[in-house]
Amino acid sequence: MKSLKIFIIISLILLFIGISGILFIYFWAQKDLPNFKKITDYNPPLVTTVYTKNGHVLGYFYKEKRFLVSLKEISPWVIKSFLAAEDSHFYEHEGVDIVGIIRAAIKNIEAGTIVQGGSTITQQIIKSLLLSPERSYKRKLKEIILAYRLEKYLNKNEILTIYLNQIYLGHGAYGIEAAARTYFGKHAKDLNLAEAAMLAGLPKAPSKYNPYNHFELAKKRQRYVLKRLKELKWISKKQYDEALNYHLILKSSGDPSWQQGAYYLEEVRRWLINKFGEEKVYKGGLIVQTCADLEHLNAAKNALRKGLIASTKRRGFRGPLKHLSPTEYSNFLSKQIIQPELLIPQSGEWLKVLVIKVKPKGAWVKFGQEQGFIPVESMAWARTPDISKAPEDVPRIKDATKVLKAGDIVYASIQEKKDNLWILSLEQEPEVEGAIFSLDPRTGEVLALVGGYDFFKSQFNRVTQAKRQPGSAFKPIVYSVAIDKGFTPASIILDAPIVYEDKTTNSTWKPENFEGIFFGPTLLRTALVKSRNLVTIRIASKIGIKNIIKRAKLLGIEENFPSDLSICLGSVPVTPWELCRAYTAFARLGTYIEPYLVKEVKNSWGDILYQVTPQIKEALSPDTAYIITYLLQQVVKYGTGWRAKVLKRPVAGKTGTTNNEQDAWFIGFTPYLLTGVYVGFDQVKPMGKYETGSRAASPIWVNYRLAVEPNYPIQDFPKPDNIVMLKIDGQTGKLASPISKEVYLLPFKKGTEPKEISNIPDEFNSNQNKENILKNIF
């Protein structure tokens, strides 16, 4: 009896130890289980995708290339192939396949080491997410317990979804969607049986079976997967044969990142990091909807590049890229990989070419195995650089020997092919830089942003980072204050010399008009249209610098303004973003809107994390905004913005040029699209004689707008009810009479319009005739 009691006590102790051990192991294992109580708790590192407003992919940000997809977004062949290859009893077991484990244990005992794991898909998820790849019985035990636990939280489809999104499939592709794009250039839902079987063969050894590097090994693995599918009777013999003999074409869908709209994409990346943090941007799988429009982006990029190249040519030829001796010719040509079938006449594609012979009529060149000729006519611009002279001040080049010599390496663009000779044009990459920024002023959506000539040479974004003096492009802000302070478009202001003495620096300031002459009494309308500096300074002096600074800040220009009259001529540097934002108040007839790049951000499960709320602020009265906009339309019709007339629709705009032609601007707008262009050197210096806003910047604006304008109907700026239109005598500022020689139709706020008629001859002095004249004026 005593021995029986001892036996029972020992048995209870052993049972207690056993149960305690099991409980200890269970709690030890389960404490590391991720919080997978629902499928949305699964948050692996995912690709952040940035879309244009029309649904095109602008680019990706990621540490691991993985796209989250649901089972319904995956081809049924993929599901069958992976189950056949990895876990054919997946829908039958509870996270662990006991038969599979016994089979693996026997093989491990026979081998004397661990050679097979017998892991289910559920166990593979645990190993991938929680455990190290170490092969040990301790880790395997923990894996089994966690697998059972996981299956209590998630259903089979949810576990399979995680697996197909988590697994690494080689070549930088994580998950089935990334693999489908990487190996076959399609989405996971579009994979056929042959393609699915090849991808299902990758998990065992992604590098070893990578079809790009080891296609035969990949085919061997594909054959195994198809064989398993046939053995399981999940496919027929016919399907097996067809898939095995299917001609696989490896093709990556490519990464569009930085290929189109690189400056825009980079600005979005900075915004996202500032908003969500780097970890979220590179691993969070954000879905980012931007305002970018590829048509606008490409048109803006092409217009800017064309304009900057034209600008550099106006300064002359800086010389060859380098010069080779005859012994170096063959080495240079042998390193060039030229595919003649890819050279397209009239494409404008640039090539580096070697000059082998030069005569006055042109230069003969070689590139790869091809031969070409650069006629002297295409070198007409290639004068010796001299910024004190404009191109029209010097003779055009008529002798190619004055430009090139044998051994020179230069850029040339393809024009046409005659017989076996390529006809080329001499080219030169610009050192001058620029920016173009375009938004819809109605909504604030930024449609195009190009921050320089070549993103890969300079990531400095001149739209958002380059602060430059705007010159006369700042004047509309000054004149808007003047209108509010009692001036009208018909006000007469004296255009005459001014000298200001600064007693603190013991210096004098003698501002001048661009033309270097004075025009006497001038209509305010004409002062803005013709950009008269001296009139602007006199107006600024009367209305007060503090009021101008206050208006600029109200329009979103948060710079440090000195209490200095020079600010009215645009001496305070601003970014193109800032200046265009200020101009939205004119385009919107009173309110300015904050431009924005990103409309919406969602997480990988489609939950909205951010949605833009347009920031709109009152800045001007509608009447004042309309008057300034109307006068800026006159700048286009009769002033320095004349190139924009080619659009043949209502356009308002203003050029800007700083001292010594260091910076050139053109801000132009319609009710539906506002675009700003800036041109200048990064290290500020003169661009050359006549390199003004009109010559250097406005052609870029025009080329861009001509490309996108057909997308918009013709639209004029709506006139507020409080505005009256009157014909004004340009010399007196009074109501025009029948003998007025210079007449303008101008807008006025009701109650501010002139009452007196200009220069009425005696025969028109009767009351009846005055009434008829007034009818004509109105």
The verdict on 72 and 206 lying in the same domain is yes
* CA–CA dist 206, 337 (Å, integer): 33
Kindly report the number of other CB atoms within 10 A of residue 251's CB atom: 12
Asked whether the predicted pLDDT for residue 1 surpasses 80, the reply is: no
**What CA–CA distances, in Å, run from 623 to 583, 653, 720, 733?**
15, 18, 6, 20
Q: What is the pLDDT of residues 719-763, one digit of tens each?
A: 999 999 999 999 999 999 988 999 999 999 999 999 999 876 555
CATH number of domain containing 351: 2.40.50.140
Nearest-5° angle of CA 80, CA 82, CA 87? 95
Task: Give the number of residues written for the chain.
Answer: 778
The verdict on 410 and 330 lying in the same domain is yes
Kindly report the number of other CB atoms within 10 A of residue 2's CB atom: 6
Residue 266 lies in a domain: no
In 3D, which of 291, 270, 287 has the Cα closest to residue 609?
Answer: 287
* CA–CA dist 409, 425 (Å, integer): 14
Asked whether the predicted pLDDT for residue 115 surpasses 50, the reply is: no
Asked whether the predicted pLDDT for residue 487 surpasses 90, the reply is: yes
Overall average pLDDT of the 595-623 stretch? 95
Q: What is the pLDDT of residues 293-351, one digit of tens each?
A: 999 999 999 999 999 999 999 999 999 999 999 999 999 999 888 888 788 888 889 99
The verdict on 358 and 411 lying in the same domain is yes
What local confidence, expressed as pLDDT, does residue 499 receive?
74
CA 768 to chain centre: 64
Provide DSSP, 166-225.
Answer: H-B-STTEESHHHHHHHHHSS-GGG--HHHHHHHHTSTT-TTTT-TTT-HHHHHHHHHHH
Which residues are annotated as catalytic?
86, 472
In 3D, which of 698, 650, 707 has the Cα closest to residue 677?
Answer: 698
* CA–CA dist 724, 52 (Å, integer): 43
* CA–CA dist 16, 9 (Å, integer): 10
Structural domain boundaries, residue 547: 472-572
Q: What is the DSSP letter of 539?
A: H
Residue 43 lies in a domain: no
The verdict on 520 and 385 lying in the same domain is no
Tokens representing residue 279 in the block: 């970890």
What local confidence, expressed as pLDDT, does residue 316 receive?
97
The verdict on 368 and 482 lying in the same domain is no
What local confidence, expressed as pLDDT, does residue 119 receive?
82
Tokens representing residue 517 in the block: 């002459």
Between 509 and 153, the more confident residue is: 153
Q: What is the DSSP letter of 674?
A: E
What local confidence, expressed as pLDDT, does residue 293 receive?
98
Domain count, the chain: 4
Confidence of residue 681 (pLDDT cuts 50, 70, 90): very high
Residue ending a domain, among 526, 549, 572, is 572
Q: What is the DSSP letter of 32?
A: T
* CA–CA dist 532, 515 (Å, integer): 9
Q: What is the pLDDT of residues 547-562, one digit of tens each?
A: 999 999 999 999 999 9
Residue type, 732: T
Rg (CA), the chain: 37
Confidence of residue 15 (pLDDT cuts 50, 70, 90): low
Tokens representing residue 501 in the block: 């003495």
Tokens representing residue 133 in the block: 């790849």
Residue 702 lies in a domain: no
Question: Mean pLDDT, the chain, as a whole number?
Answer: 89
* CA–CA dist 453, 439 (Å, integer): 20
Provide DSSP, 692-738.
Answer: -IIIIIHHHHHHHHHHHGGGS----PPPPTTEEEEEEETTTSSB--T
Q: What 3-state DSSP class applies to 292?
A: coil
Tokens representing residue 9 in the block: 């006590």
Nearest-5° angle of CA 153, CA 157, CA 158? 45
Q: What is the DSSP letter of 757?
A: B
Residue 1 lies in a domain: no
Asked whether the predicted pLDDT for residue 458 surpasses 70, the reply is: yes
Report percent pLDDT > 90 for the chain: 73
Confidence of residue 510 (pLDDT cuts 50, 70, 90): confident
Asked whether the predicted pLDDT for residue 112 surpasses 70, the reply is: no
Between 30 and 572, the more confident residue is: 572
Are 430 and 307 in contact by the 8 Å Cβ rule? The answer is no
The long-range contacts involving 133-138, CB below 8 angstroms and separated by at least 24 positions, are none
What local confidence, expressed as pLDDT, does residue 128 receive?
72
Query: Which has the minimum average pLDDT: 4-8, 477-481, 562-566, 597-601?
Result: 4-8
The verdict on 188 and 110 lying in the same domain is yes
* CA–CA dist 716, 670 (Å, integer): 7
- Phi and psi torsions of 307, nearest 5°: -65, -40
The verdict on 381 and 486 lying in the same domain is no
In 3D, which of 691, 468, 475, 697 has the Cα closest to residue 569?
Answer: 475
In 3D, which of 451, 448, 445, 453 has the Cα closest to residue 466?
Answer: 451
Residue ending a domain, among 245, 274, 299, is 245
CATH number of domain containing 506: 3.40.710.10
Are 641 and 399 in contact by the 8 Å Cβ rule? The answer is no
